Amino acid sequence: AHLGVPRSGALDAPAAALANRLAGNPRGAAVLETTLDGCALRPRSAVTVAVTGAPCPVRLDGRPAAWGAPVRVPAGAVLEVGAAVRGIRAYVAVSGGVAVEPVLGSRSTDLLSGLGPAPLSDGTVLPLGPPADVHARVDVAPQPGPAAELVLRVTLGPRDDWFTPEALRVLASRPYRVSSASNRIGLRTEGPALERARPGELPSEGMVLGAVQVPPDGRPLVFLADHPTTGGYPVIAVVHAADLPAAAQAVPGTPVRFVPVRRRAAGVRRR
């Protein structure tokens, strides 16, 4: 962030970590993240593949294969990861991990800065690392399905004083919906506008993952993995990190509720 570069990475980090565990990879190995429409892979040597995240059909040489479980794929066979049935993003881990060159310590494709490997296209050849000797010996790994309603716990601030008391009440009590304009940079919402108590704009200041920024149209925007590192619109609240993976799977139109949670007492924080 001190170089102006977002952290990027998987939007649904628990799903990516589970895919790696099923494929026998370290938690941080590079995986593929698909958005809505899936992908197809043809390995040049036998590999173990696991697909997690958004539920989707998986086929091996045209035959149904397991989703959420290790699948052994022979050399030259085609593994098809279909379109998401629910949710948005699926994660495909291959034994050994995707071994593209890291940039600033990351192998992620960063849509905002353009750093990292280019987005995949037909015919792309990806290098793999050496596979581990063992993979998870399970039939299927249970995973939570995409939520019908996105509930985001928030801590108010640091710029909640830029908004009227009525705006804070609206944020905590009125429903919003996920906008189709959402992407890896931020989850945009549709719903009631939040009224400011102050005119003008802030000088640019640091932004964090989960920041709820309010642009001039008054609709909250939740910053996700590819978010800018600075911004000039006031941040009314910050979403708790544990609630962000669900935002990665929220389809347009999903109801959104913001639930303010009070800061803990200083003594409790120290303990």
Q: How far apart are CA 183 and CA 47, in angstroms?
A: 31
CB 74 within 8 A of CB 103: no
pLDDT value, residue 141 = 75
What per-residue confidence (pLDDT) applies to 132?
78
Q: What is the pLDDT of residue 6?
A: 87
Q: What is the DSSP letter of 149?
A: S
Percent of the chain surpassing pLDDT 70:
94
Contact in structure between 239 and 259 (CB atoms under 8 Å): no
Estimate the share of the chain in helix, then strand, then coil, as percent rounded to the nearest 5.
Answer: 15, 25, 60
Residue 62 in this model has a pLDDT that exceeds 60: yes
For the chain, give the longest Cα–Cα distance.
63
Q: Quote the tokens at residue 10.
A: 């998987």
- Residue 239, judged by CB atoms within 10 A of its CB (0-12, 13-18, 19+), counts as buried
255-260 and 150-156 strand pairing: parallel
124 to each of 19, 84, 110, 127, 167, how far by Cα in Å?
A: 21, 22, 18, 10, 48
Which is higher by pLDDT, 134 or 141? Answer: 141
Q: What region, left, alpha or beta, does residue 200 occupy, with left being phi > 0 and alpha being psi -120 to 50 degrees?
A: left
pLDDT digits 0-9 by tens, 16-49 = 999 999 999 999 999 999 999 999 999 999 999 9
| Tokens linked to 210 | 């989960």
Q: Given the structure tokens 């699948």, which residue do they identify?
A: 71
Q: Where do the H-state alpha helices sit in 115-206?
A: 165-173
Q: Are 155 and 147 in contact (CB under 8 A)?
A: no
Q: What are the residues whose beta carbons fall under 8 Å from the beta carbon of 145, sequence distance 6 or more?
A: 55, 86, 87
Summarize pLDDT for 68-89 with one digit per residue, the tens: 999 999 999 999 999 999 999 9
Domains of the chain: 1-142 (no CATH), 150-270 (2.40.100.10)
pLDDT at 125 over 90: yes
Residue 265 — pLDDT band, cuts 50, 70, 90? very low
The Cα-based distances of 28 to 21, 31, 105, 132, 157 in angstroms read 10, 9, 11, 14, 31
What is the Rg, in whole angstroms, of the alpha carbon atoms belonging to the chain? 20
Helix (H, G, I), strand (E, B) or coil at 160: helix
Backbone angles phi, psi at 147, to 5 degrees: -70, 140
Whether the pLDDT of residue 102 is over 80: the answer is yes
Please, are residues 224 and 248 in contact by the beta-carbon 8 Å criterion?
yes
**Distance set, CA 89 to CA 34, 85, 117 (Å):** 5, 10, 18
